[in-house]
Amino acid sequence: MKIGFIGLGNMGSPMACNLLKAGHELIVFDLSEIALTHLKQSGAKVARSITEVAQTSNLDTIITMLPASQHVRSVYLGNDGILATVAKDVLLIDCSTIDPHTARDVAKASEQHGNPMLDAPVSGGTGGAEAGTLTFMVGGQEQWFNVAKPLLSDMGKNIVHCGDSGNGQVAKVANNMLLGISMIATAEAMSLGVSLGVDPKVLAGIINTSSGRCWSSEIYNPFPGVVETAPAGRAYSGGFGVDLMLKDLGLATEAAKQAQQPVVLGAMAQQLYQLFSNQGYGKLDFSAIINLHKK
């Protein structure tokens, strides 16, 4: 396929490289020269603007992987944005994590312009992006999901249709809200057990074969030395940053407000990550939140 790709950051760059490896033709754009040079060396054609990507002839699809809602709005709806020049029928796929409301607005504008659109946020982090093992949570019409699925499979291994436009984002924020909460709960339980005298590995072993078990306790345990491969074992470097978790919890609580749906623990988790970020730990892996429990 002939694919436009806009947003070549930590996630977008390896995703675009996997599309090249799968044999697709890519025309790419990013504000960063370094990102463009890297993709050029990997075999992509470099564009100098969003317009140049959107105007490429015989384009099948455009994929975007941008930081946040405001970037998605401007890249699609701005005066020099995608919809200003893209040919009708080109399939638009936004993989950024943004609020469901913006995803639905942009999809509506795209469809009015004659372009089908899918929201397809991912989970799996930069490791999953590099390995091509991401999970894609996709919102939009099933007909277009079926068209996109083989393409998304070149970048991921779980491609799930979640329903109408915006539902991919809904699934993503619900999952990440639960992850944020479960990490704090795991940190609290581990800290309690250890401060009362139980060995952290023994305690984790009990939890992980009992009813308290969850991803945060088993795969990503926040207590140093329990899971060798977890960020806790390397001073909480790498992994999924506190500020990225904070962004996702902000999306969840904002979406909850619009739906008048109480998210009591989600809101509390957001406040705790905010507090921790304000103390200067925004770049650490989110499991470092256990340090808030230090006596």
Q: What residues are annotated to the active site? A: 172
Residues 35-94 that bind ligand NAD (CB under 6 A): 35, 65-68, 71, 75
Sign of the Cα pseudo-torsion (294, 244, 8, 131, in order): positive
Query: With respect to ligand NAD, which residue has the nearer C-beta, 126 or 208?
Result: 126
Residue 125 or residue 163: which is nearer to ligand NAD going by CB?
A: 125
Give the separation between CA 191 and CA 291, rounded to whole angstroms.
9
Smallest distance from ligand NAD to CB 295, Å: 31
Stretch of 2-10, 193-201, 229-237, 268-276 contacting ligand NAD, by CB under 6 A: 2-10
Residues 167 and 277: their CA atoms lie apart, in Å, by 29
What span, in angstroms and rounded, lies between the C-alpha atoms of 212 and 205?
Answer: 11
Contacting ligand NAD (CB under 6 A), which of 96, 167, 191, 270?
96
Residue at 86: amino acid letter: V
Nearest to ligand NAD of 122, 177 (CB atom): 122
- Please identify, among the stretches 84-92, 120-128, 159-167, 183-191, the one whose residues bind ligand NAD according to the rule CB under 6 A: 120-128
Least distance from ligand NAD to the Cβ atom of residue 127, Å: 8
Torsion of the alpha carbons at 174, 175, 181 and 186, rounded to the nearest 10: 160
Alpha-carbon gap, residue 153 to 142, rounded angstroms: 16
Q: What is the residue type of 39?
A: L
The CA–CA distances, whole Å, from 9 to 15, 29, 30, 73 equal 10, 11, 8, 18
29 binds ligand NAD (CB under 6 A): yes
Which residues are at the interface with ligand NAD (CB under 6 A)?
Answer: 6-12, 29-32, 35, 65-68, 71, 75, 96-97, 122-123, 125-126, 240, 244
